[in-house]
Amino acid sequence: MNSSVLRKTALGRDLTAKHAVASANGRLSPQQKPARLRRKGPVLWAALALLVLAADFLLAGLAWLAVDFVMG
């Protein structure tokens, strides 16, 4: 087998063993804190959409004033 496959298999066994020990103890040591996966996607996309919409209205207002100034 390929040496990278062997390394990945060994790494998988090590991670599985660590997870089994951590779940058996019921507590995790400070070095083994799980990564916090927080998905903020929809909130960030909504905020970005509102920001773009506000910028669009601002530019439309400035264009309206510029046309009014030139025509008036």
pTM above 0.75, yes or no: no
Q: What is the pLDDT of residues 7-22, one digit of tens each?
A: 666 666 666 666 555 5
Question: In a 3-state reduction of DSSP, which class is residue 29?
Answer: coil
Which of 33, 51, 35 has the alpha carbon at shortest distance from 43?
51
Q: What is the pLDDT of residues 19-72, one digit of tens each?
A: 555 555 565 555 666 666 566 788 999 999 999 999 999 999 999 999 999 998
